[in-house]
Every structure is written in structure tokens, then in C-alpha cells.
């Protein structure tokens, strides 16, 4: 049933795609070779310091993934690092560097931070939590961990830290190579992840968390998993550090170290991976060389540079380099668009069973202000219901209650017979509801194709290692794209789209979810006549199949009359009329409301 849609430049793209896919591996192998040889050339001091710098760079990668990509400003990676290092030191001290001891230490260095990461993630991310709150928690965690280390007495060595435990049987050069290999492996894995489709989900989270939830992705789960996974990576760095240095100290887990990591990442260039890695190595190495001779000046320069970069160059040094690079002819590379293919629509029994939407006795108030009252509504498959009423009638509030079960309301809403009370938006999307917002809600940093792929994520999943070459969309979504010309703009960053194009893209994304019930909040606001017609056509076609229902809030009564199968009128929070187009348009009541309510 797959029908392929021809796209320009498709054939020319294949070899280049293969090349760009191999490039990071080649670069990684070359870097590994260079670093393998490096200890023969460098003096002991440089080898020693760079070993530490590279371990710190592993941490910088994790901070960059969290902050630069997923938008979670964290000071907490130091805590996970410290937990990993202390777990290693305590186990090695107790069991020695036997194969079993080392294996146990490594396992603990991964598991303990990961568990702590889960707990921290649970604490930091919940429905309606703010990015600031997550940062606050990430500040508290290292402080708590440090104090627990202090209170550990003999067990953790308190302020003295732990020293004199057995370590891996390696020389200084051996540790250098081990740290280099781990750094390259972690960076490469991170590189592959952020280039892959799953990596775009991180950026999507940073851009627009609400939209993610309304695509059925669970932002909380993603954030918590990411936190736990990267905590484990930080723990691995802690394992290396404890072995390479032979000392673990409370400072290693401290909040100050956490801020240092953020400073390195910011200077290197958040969201670029290589920037933070190189930035961390360069700054830590320079610090080791310079801070002995000019400690105050060094810190002063670093602090000043940090402030300047944050204010004037938020993308860090890597951003500056990147801009220069893209200015060169070699650096300009057109991204390759994926091939669009039609996905067969699910064929199921139509219109049987309970109504798609059933609202009974819905009421909602903000304090003493009643916004909705005694709303009863039933919508069946195949219906296209327009919700009209003057401003302040409660239309948008009703839409919000329908799509978010955590809104405080009374009464009952059921989707396909399942009550939604208490369900977060992503779970309601899972019941088959798609919502389009009044102001187009898309992912500004992503391309058109990437936005669409995220919309398909609940159905098709996202590849954690690569970019799929095809993008399968249901036919109605393809129709939207084709009618609005978006199918020729697949690689264009969303922020460069026009207002109408953004609206169309969001509609395509919602349609791509294959919802049973589509909620649209003023889909035609600010659109041209042609664009309105397109949207009308799509909606009619969608509902005509008898499997899908649509509810739209609209002010344009001509448009409403043209496409609706039924019209519901809201006034002052009450449902005052519910009938066919003829019933409503001819109604005296509606005319009075609109004459008084004034909306042209």
C-alpha cells in the first residue's frame, strides 16, 4: 500500500548521505590513533593533566546533552560524578583491585548514579514543572551529596576524602589512553544520538515542551530517562577519575565543580558537543599550567570571559567557529530531505461503540469567576463540529479541558468511553486526540521534516542511531503538505516559515498523529483565502471517512457554515445552542449574541 512521492534531488543524495554517515567514525578512529600515540610525545605532567581533562570532558558532554540540547541547565552532573567516584573508591578499598572488585566497582559506579539520577529526575520533572525548578534541584543535589560525604565519617573519609585504595593496574600512559578511548566513545555516541531522529526529540523538548506532550510524547519520561542515563555516564567518568587519581575528595562532588562544568560548556559552545569537549580540555589544561603562576589573574580572566560569552555570544566559541566555517564554500552543505511516503490509514470499524467524545456536566472556575458551567456534549465519528461564540465565552478553556485531564474541572469527559480526569495531555493524545493551538505551536529549531517525524514518533518510534531516509505520513497529512507547498520545503528550519505555513505544518503534524478526535483552535486565523479553503477541504475529507471527528473553534462564520456538520454555540460559559448549520445560522439567539458580543 506504500505509494512513494517523488522528491527532487533524491538520487543525488544517497552517496553523500553515506559519506556523512561514515565521517564521524573516521574522525573518531583518527582521534583515537592520535591520542594513543600522544603519551610518547608528551611529558609526564601533560599526560597526567590531560588524563584528568579528558575525564572532565566526558562530563562536559553530558552537561551539553542536558543543557545545550535538551535545555535543562544542570549543576548536578558533579554530584553523579562524585557518587561514581566514591562508589569506586569505597568498593576498591574494601575488596581490592581484583577482577571481581573492579567489576563490582564499575557496576556500582554506573548503577548508584543512575538510581540517584532517577530520583533526581522524578523530583525535577513533573507535569507543569519549570526549567528553573529543575535547575534549583540540580543545585541542591551536589550540596546534599557533599554533606552526606562529610557525614560519612570513616566510611567516606569526611573532609579528607579517600586515598590509598587499590586501583586498576595501569601506568600513567595507560590511564591516558583509557580516558581517551572513553571520551571518544562517549562523544561519538552522543554525536550519533543528536544527529539521529531520537536526538531531535531532545531539541524538541527544549523548544516546546507542550507541543511534545500534545504529540503524545511523554516529556517527563524522556527527561527522567535522559537524566538517569547521563548520570550513569557521569558515574563512569567518576570511576575513571577515582582510578586515575587514586584520590576522591568531597570537592569532586561539589556544587562549585558543577558550576565549573557549566562554565566550560558555555565557553566551548553549548549544543555543539565538540565545542564543550575541546573547551573543557583546553581550559582545564591551561588552568593546570597557568593557575600555579598566576592563580588570581587566571580565575579573573576565566570569569570575565564567561560573563562576556554568556551576554554577547551565547553559542560559545564553537558558534563563532561554526559561523566562519559556514561562510566558507566547503562548509555550506544542503541537508538532504527524507523521501515522503504515504502510510496506509488504519482501517477499523467505523462509528460503532461509544461516542468519540462525551462531556457531562463540565464546569470550571478560576476562583470566583465561573468560566464554564453545565456543559453537556456528545460527538460521534464523522462529525465536524464548530464551536462558536463571542470572545470570553469559554471556547478555548473548553478545548483545554478536553485535551488536558489535569486541568481542575468538575464533571466528566470521556474519550471513546474512557474518562480523562487526571490524565496528562500526552496520555489523552494516546486515546486518539490531536490538538492544534491557536498560535501555531511547532519546533522552531527543527526542520519541517523533523517536526513531522516527531509527530509520527508515537506510531513509528524514533531511531536512536540514524536518520530514516523515508518519512511515512498518512495521506491526509501528505495532502496538507502538498496543497500548501510544504512538501518542497522539508529541510527548511521551521523558524523561517511564514505564519500560514506554520499553521499548515502544525495541522499536518496533528493529522499525522492519526487522531480519532481533532481539536482545532482557530485554525484559519490570519490565513489567506486560499489557505482557508485548503484547510476546509482537508477537514471535510478527514471526517468524511466516518472514522474521525473534529471540533473547531472558529470566528469566521462563513467558513463555519461551509464545512460544519453541526454547530455548538457557547455564551458566557454555557452551551446555549447545539444544532445543524441551518438551525444555528437561522437562530435569533445567535444574532443577538453576536450583535452584542461584537466580533467582526
Partner 1 sequence: MVKWSLLGAAALVLAAPGARAADGKPIVIGVPVGLSGANSVVAPSVVQSAELAVEEINAKGGVLGCKLALEVADDASGAAGAQKAFDGLIYQKKVDVLISMETSAARNAGLPAVTKGKVPFLYTSFYEGHSCNRNLFVDAWVPEQQVPPVVDAFKAKGAKTYFLIGSDYAFGRGMLGFTRSYVEKTGGKVLGEEYLPMDGSDWTAIVSKLKEAKPDALITSTAGGAPNVTLTKQLRGAGVALPFANLALDEGTAKSMGADAEGVYLSASYVTGIDSLENKAFLAAMKKKFGAELRTPNDLSVPEYEAIYLYKAAVEKAGGTETAKVLEALPTVSFTGPRGTITMSKQHHAPLTMYLGQIQADGTVKVAGTFKDVDPGAQCPKLP
Partner 2 sequence: MLLLLDILTTAAILFIVAIGLLAIFGVLKIINFAHGAWLTVGAYCAVVTARLGLNPWLALPLAFVVGAVLGGFAEQVIIRPLYRRPLDAILATWGLGIVVGQLITLGFGRDVQLTPNLLAGTVTILGVDYSAYRLVALGIALAIGLLFALTIERTRLGLSARAVIMNETLARSLGIDTGRVRLVVFMIGAGFAALAGVLLTPLTSVDPNMGVSWLIGAFMLVMVADASYLALAAACLVFGAAQVLISTFVSPILGSIAVAVLAALVLRISPKGFSRA
463 forms part of the interface with partner 2 (CB under 8 A): no
The contacts of residue 4 (CB under 8 Å, 6+ apart) are: 339, 340, 341, 342
137 forms part of the interface with partner 2 (CB under 8 A): yes
Q: Quickly list DSSP for 163-224.
A: ES----S--HHHHHHHHHHHHHHHHHHHHHHHHSHHHHHHHHHHH-HHHHHHTT--HHHHHH
Q: Which does 45 bind (CB under 5 to 8 A by kind): partner 1, partner 2, none?
A: partner 1
Cα–Cα–Cα angle for 591, 597, 600, rounded to 5 degrees: 80
Q: Which does 95 bind (CB under 5 to 8 A by kind): partner 1, partner 2, none?
A: none
Minimum gap (Å) between residue 73 Cβ and partner 1: 24
Q: Which does 136 bind (CB under 5 to 8 A by kind): partner 2, partner 1, none?
A: partner 2
Question: Of 242, 249, 362, 490, which lies in the binding site for partner 1, with binding defined by CB under 8 A?
Answer: 249
Minimum gap (Å) between residue 303 Cβ and partner 2: 3
Three cell numbers, residue 459: 506510531
130 forms part of the interface with partner 2 (CB under 8 A): yes
| Partners of 575 in beta bridges | 570
Question: Of 4, 34, 44, 530, which lies in the binding site for partner 1, with binding defined by CB under 8 A?
Answer: 44
Instruction: Identify how many contiguous H helices and E strands the chain contains and give both numbers.
Output: 22, 15
Alpha carbon distances (Å) from 273 to 52, 57, 225, 310 = 18, 10, 20, 17
Three cell numbers, residue 366: 478560576
**Contact mark string toward partner 2, 89..128, x via CB under 8 A:** ----------------------------------x--x-x
CA–centroid distance for 542 within its chain: 29
Minimum gap (Å) between residue 156 Cβ and partner 1: 11
Question: Of 31, 140, 341, 360, which lies in the binding site for partner 2, with binding defined by CB under 8 A?
Answer: 140
Minimum gap (Å) between residue 292 Cβ and partner 1: 5
Would you say 123 or 585 has its CB closer to partner 2? 123
**How far apart (Å, rounded) are the C-alpha atoms in residues 260 and 252?**
11
Would you say 114 or 249 has its CB closer to partner 1? 249
210 forms part of the interface with partner 2 (CB under 8 A): no
Cα–Cα–Cα angle for 454, 457, 458, rounded to 5 degrees: 135
Give the closest residue to 538 by CA, choosing from 457, 490, 475: 475
Would you say 75 or 443 has its CB closer to partner 1? 75
**How far apart (Å, rounded) are the C-alpha atoms in residues 227 and 441?**
26
Would you say 122 or 150 has its CB closer to partner 1? 150
285 forms part of the interface with partner 2 (CB under 8 A): no
Helix ranges (DSSP H) in 125-171: 131-150
Q: Which does 310 bind (CB under 5 to 8 A by kind): partner 2, partner 1, none?
A: partner 2
Give the closest residue to 564 by CA, choosing from 539, 532, 545, 586: 539
Residue written as grid cell 511523554: 218
Question: Of 88, 218, 252, 534, which lies in the binding site for partner 1, with binding defined by CB under 8 A?
Answer: 252
- CB neighbours of residue 500 within 10 Å: 19
321 forms part of the interface with partner 2 (CB under 8 A): no
Reduced to 3 states (helix: H, G, I; strand: E, B; else coil), residue 521 is strand
**How far apart (Å, rounded) are the C-alpha atoms in residues 160 and 162?**
7
Q: Which does 48 bind (CB under 5 to 8 A by kind): partner 2, partner 1, none?
A: partner 1
311 forms part of the interface with partner 2 (CB under 8 A): yes
Q: Which does 331 bind (CB under 5 to 8 A by kind): partner 1, partner 2, none?
A: none
The contacts of residue 271 (CB under 8 Å, 6+ apart) are: 64, 68, 69, 315
Would you say 251 or 469 has its CB closer to partner 1? 251
159 forms part of the interface with partner 2 (CB under 8 A): no
408 forms part of the interface with partner 1 (CB under 8 A): no
Q: Quickly list DSSP for 546-570.
A: SS-EEEEE-S-HHHHHHH-SEEEEE
**Contact mark string toward partner 2, 254..283, x via CB under 8 A:** -xx--x--xx--x-----------------
Q: Which does 353 bind (CB under 5 to 8 A by kind): partner 1, partner 2, none?
A: none
Would you say 300 or 496 has its CB closer to partner 2? 300
**How far apart (Å, rounded) are the C-alpha atoms in residues 412 and 433?**
16
Question: Of 133, 174, 195, 416, which lies in the binding site for partner 2, with binding defined by CB under 8 A?
Answer: 133
302 forms part of the interface with partner 2 (CB under 8 A): yes
| Partners of 379 in beta bridges | 357
Would you say 98 or 159 has its CB closer to partner 1? 159
Strand boundaries in 355-469, DSSP class E: 357-366, 369-379, 384-388, 410-415, 418-419, 433-436
Minimum gap (Å) between residue 91 Cβ and partner 1: 18
- State the DSSP code for 345: P
**Contact mark string toward partner 2, 60..89, x via CB under 8 A:** -------------x----------------
Give the closest residue to 93 by CA, choosing from 156, 146, 152: 156
Give the closest residue to 482 by CA, choosing from 448, 526, 439, 516: 448
- State the DSSP code for 344: P
Question: Of 43, 334, 558, 588, which lies in the binding site for partner 1, with binding defined by CB under 8 A?
Answer: 43
Q: What stretch of H or E contains 112?
A: helix 99-124
Within 122-181, the residues that bind partner 1 by CB under 8 A are 147, 150-151, 153, 157-161, 163-164, 172
250 forms part of the interface with partner 1 (CB under 8 A): yes
> Which residues bind to partner 2, rule: CB under 8 A?
73, 123, 126, 128-133, 135-137, 139-140, 143-144, 147, 150-151, 255-256, 259, 262-263, 266, 296-297, 299-300, 302-304, 306-307, 310-311, 314
> Which residues bind to partner 1, rule: CB under 8 A?
43-45, 48-49, 147, 150-151, 153, 157-161, 163-164, 172, 245-247, 249-252, 288-289, 291-292, 295
Amino acid at each position: 500500500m506504500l505509494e512513494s512521492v517523488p522528491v527532487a534531488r533524491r538520487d543525488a543524495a544517497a552517496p553523500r548521505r553515506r559519506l556523512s554517515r561514515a565521517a564521524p567514525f573516521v574522525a573518531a578512529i583518527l582521534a583515537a590513533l592520535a591520542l594513543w600515540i600522544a603519551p610518547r610525545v608528551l611529558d609526564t605532567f601533560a599526560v597526567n593533566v590531560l588524563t584528568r581533562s579528558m575525564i572532565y570532558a566526558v562530563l562536559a558532554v553530558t552537561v551539553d546533552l542536558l543543557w545545550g540540547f535538551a535545555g535543562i541547565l544542570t549543576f548536578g552532573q558533579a554530584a553523579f560524578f562524585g557518587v561514581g567516584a566514591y562508589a569506586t573508591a569505597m568498593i576498591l578499598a574494601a575488596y581490592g583491585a581484583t577482577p571481581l572488585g573492579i567489576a563490582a566497582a564499575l557496576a556500582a559506579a554506573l548503577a548508584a548514579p543512575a538510581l540517584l539520577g532517577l530520583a533526581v529526575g522524578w523530583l525535577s520533572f513533573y507535569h507543569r514543572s519549570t526549567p528553573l525548578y529543575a535547575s534549583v534541584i540540580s543545585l541542591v543535589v551536589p550540596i546534599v551529596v557533599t554533606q552526606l560525604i562529610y557525614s560519612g565519617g570513616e566510611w567516606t573519609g569526611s573532609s579528607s576524602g579517600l586515598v590509598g585504595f587499590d586501583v586498576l593496574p595501569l601506568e600513567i600512559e595507560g590511564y591516558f589512553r583509557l580516558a581517551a578511548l572513553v571520551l571518544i566513545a562517549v562523544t561519538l555516541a552522543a554525536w550519533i544520538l543528536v544527529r539521529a531522529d531520537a536526538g531531535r526529540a531532545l531539541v524538541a523538548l527544549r523548544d516546546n515542551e507542550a507541543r511534545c506532550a500534545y504529540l503524545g510524547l511523554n516529556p517527563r519520561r524522556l527527561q527522567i530517562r535522559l537524566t538517569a542515563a547521563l548520570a550513569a555516564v557521569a558515574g563512569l567518568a567518576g570511576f575513571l577519575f577515582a582510578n586515575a587519581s587514586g584520590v576522591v575528595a568531597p570537592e569532586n562532588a561539589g556544587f562549585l565543580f558543577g558550576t565549573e562544568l557549566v562554565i566550560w560548556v558555555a565557553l566551548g559552545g553549548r549544543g555543539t558537543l565538540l565545542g564543550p569537549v575541546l573547551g573543557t580540555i583546553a581550559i582545564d589544561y591551561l588552568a593546570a599550567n597557568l593557575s600555579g603562576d598566576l592563580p588570581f589573574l587566571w580565575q579573573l580572566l576565566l570569569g570575565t570571559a564567561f560573563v562576556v560569552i554568556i551576554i554577547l555570544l551565547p553559542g560559545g566559541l564553537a558558534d563563532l567557529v561554526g559561523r566562519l566555517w559556514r561562510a566558507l564554500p566547503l562548509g555550506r552543505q544542503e541537508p538532504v530531505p527524507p523521501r515522503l511516503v504515504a502510510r496506509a490509514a488504519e482501517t477499523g470499524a467505523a462509528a460503532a461503540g461509544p461516542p468519540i467524545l462525551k462531556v457531562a456536566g463540565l464546569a470550571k472556575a478560576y476562583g470566583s469567576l465561573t468560566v464554564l458551567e453545565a456543559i453537556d456534549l456528545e460527538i460521534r465519528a464523522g462529525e465536524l463540529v464548530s464551536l462558536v461564540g463571542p470572545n470570553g465565552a469559554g471556547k478555548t478553556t473548553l478545548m483545554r479541558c478536553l485535551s488536558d485531564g489535569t486541568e481542575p474541572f468538575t464533571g466528566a469527559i470521556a474519550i471513546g468511553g474512557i474518562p480523562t480526569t487526571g490524565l496528562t495531555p500526552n496520555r489523552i493524545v494516546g486515546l486518539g486526540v490531536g490538538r492544534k493551538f491557536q498560535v501555531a505551536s511547532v519546533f522552531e529549531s527543527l526542520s519541517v521534516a523533523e517536526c513531522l517525524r516527531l509527530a509520527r514518533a508515537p506510531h513509528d518510534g524514533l531511531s536512536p542511531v540514524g536518520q530514516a531516509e523515508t518519512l511515512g505520513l498518512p495521506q491526509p497529512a501528505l495532502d496538507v503538505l502538498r496543497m500548501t507547498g510544504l512538501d518542497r520545503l522539508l529541510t527548511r528550519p521551521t523558524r523561517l516559515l511564514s505564519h500560514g505555513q506554520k499553521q499548515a505544518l502544525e495541522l499536518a503534524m496533528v493529522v499525522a498523529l492519526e487522531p480519532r478526535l481533532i481539536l482545532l483552535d482557530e485554525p484559519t486565523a490570519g490565513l489567506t483565502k486560499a489557505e482557508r479553503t485548503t484547510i476546509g477541504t482537508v477537514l471535510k475529507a478527514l471526517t468524511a471517512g466516518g472514522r474521525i471527528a473534529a471540533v473547531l473553534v472558529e470566528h469566521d462564520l462563513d467558513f463555519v457554515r461551509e464545512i460544519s456538520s453541526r454547530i455548538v454555540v457557547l455564551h458566557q460559559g454555557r452551551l446555549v445552542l447545539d444544532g445543524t448549520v441551518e438551525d444555528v445560522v437561522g437562530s435569533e439567539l445567535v444574532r443577538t449574541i453576536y450583535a452584542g458580543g461584537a466580533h467582526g
